[in-house]
């Protein structure tokens, strides 16, 4: 009988102290809901809780500019709004460095064999942060910093799967010329931030290793399930990653107030299992890193389903059958990327 998977939970009280102001959807209660979901499902005690350290400057500067760090440092002494959506206050820089450090810490724990997979419950989120500017609620590119850290440790095939409802522009731009990094993003289109068109497939030697999957609003468990089992999984397995990082946004949830998708909590469990299966060449090493998701009960239920998947508990029921529209969408996306990925032909 095989041992149960060792799953870590990376969190820190400082994440609650990043103050976005009254009425902002990216609020501390999101993390309270994440942990409530684990506790109510009886899963919290089965996870190895880890408290991260701040990412150091060398880790951050692999992804961001000196100017970016100086701009963030200014928020330690005065409240700053980097754009209308992205405020920061005196405790925000500490939270951002700890969020990035949680991802590098999870990468180390996975590569050193201490954990099999990890849940990284952080805020502020990261996938919109560009090299030289915060944006879209994000201060530092948490997942991008984790990828760069893994490459610095000697890996040469790292896959990023971003299922947040918004395109991960910052992560894409950090690695779109690097064939060592596979970036796969499913996202609503057209939608904020306006990047992630189907034709964005990478640059130079990285051409083909950016796999954008723009989706019309209204997609739910049927479309997402078919997409992840029929396209994302095969492409990732073909890439044969040594590590998988998931930008885990729960804003495609049916009850999310900022988007128009219809994924259920069980649907997120299905996506997590698809990512774990795609990580088979990496020994199942996956870090699930929180990005968006703004309905508190949706976060709670979805976090529990991802944790169950990571713990190897239960099996996903087959997704609902695709209708004609969904089948045509999947066929079009497979065809668009088949030139770079023969497995899709």
Q: Which residues are catalytic?
A: 128
Check: CB of residue 229 under 8 Å from CB of residue 274. yes
Token output for 29: 């209660």
Rounded Cα distance, 136 and 129, in Å: 7
Check: CB of residue 277 under 8 Å from CB of residue 315. no
Task: Look at residues 195, 153, 198 and name the one whose alpha carbon lies nearest to residue 174.
Answer: 195
Helix (H, G, I), strand (E, B) or coil at 266: helix
Rounded Cα distance, 309 and 14, in Å: 27
Task: Look at residues 216, 243, 81, 73 and name the one whose alpha carbon lies nearest to residue 159.
Answer: 243
Task: Look at residues 116, 142, 319 and name the one whose alpha carbon lies nearest to residue 248.
Answer: 142
Calculate the CA 177 to chain-centre distance. 20
């Amino acid at each position: 009988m095989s041992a149960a998977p060792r799953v870590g939970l990376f969190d820190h009280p400082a994440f609650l102290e990043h103050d976005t102001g009254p009425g902002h959807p990216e609020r501390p209660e999101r993390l309270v809901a994440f942990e409530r979901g684990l506790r109510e499902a009886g899963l919290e005690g089965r996870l190895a809780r880890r408290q991260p350290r701040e990412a150091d400057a060398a880790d951050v500067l692999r992804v961001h500019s000196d100017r970016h760090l100086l701009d963030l440092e200014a928020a330690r002494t005065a409240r700053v709004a980097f754009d209308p959506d992205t405020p920061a206050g005196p405790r925000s820089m500490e939270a951002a460095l700890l969020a990035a450090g949680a991802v590098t810490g999870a990468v180390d724990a996975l590569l050193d064999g201490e954990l099999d997979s990890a849940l990284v419950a952080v805020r502020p989120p990261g996938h919109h942060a560009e090299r030289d500017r915060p944006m879209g609620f994000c201060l530092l590119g948490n997942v991008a910093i984790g990828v760069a850290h893994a490459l610095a440790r000697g890996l040469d095939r790292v896959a990023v799967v971003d299922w947040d409802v918004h395109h991960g522009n910052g992560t894409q731009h950090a690695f779109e010329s690097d064939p060592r990094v596979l970036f796969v993003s499913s996202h609503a289109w057209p939608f904020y931030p306006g990047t992630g068109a189907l034709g964005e497939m990478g640059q130079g030697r990285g051409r083909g290793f950016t796999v954008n999957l723009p989706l019309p609003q209204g997609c739910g468990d049927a479309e997402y399930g078919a997409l992840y089992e029929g396209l994302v999984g095969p492409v990732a397995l073909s890439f044969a990653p040594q590590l998988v990082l998931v930008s885990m946004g729960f804003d495609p949830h049916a009850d999310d107030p900022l988007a128009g998708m219809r994924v259920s909590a069980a649907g997120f469990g299905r996506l997590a299992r698809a990512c774990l299966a795609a990580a088979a060449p990496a020994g199942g090493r996956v870090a699930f890193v929180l990005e968006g998701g703004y309905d508190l009960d949706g976060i709670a239920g979805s976090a529990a389903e991802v944790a169950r998947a990571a713990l190897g508990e239960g099996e996903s029921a087959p997704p609902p059958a695709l209708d004609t529209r969904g089948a045509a969408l999947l066929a079009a996306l497979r065809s668009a990327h088949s030139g770079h990925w023969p497995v899709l032909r």
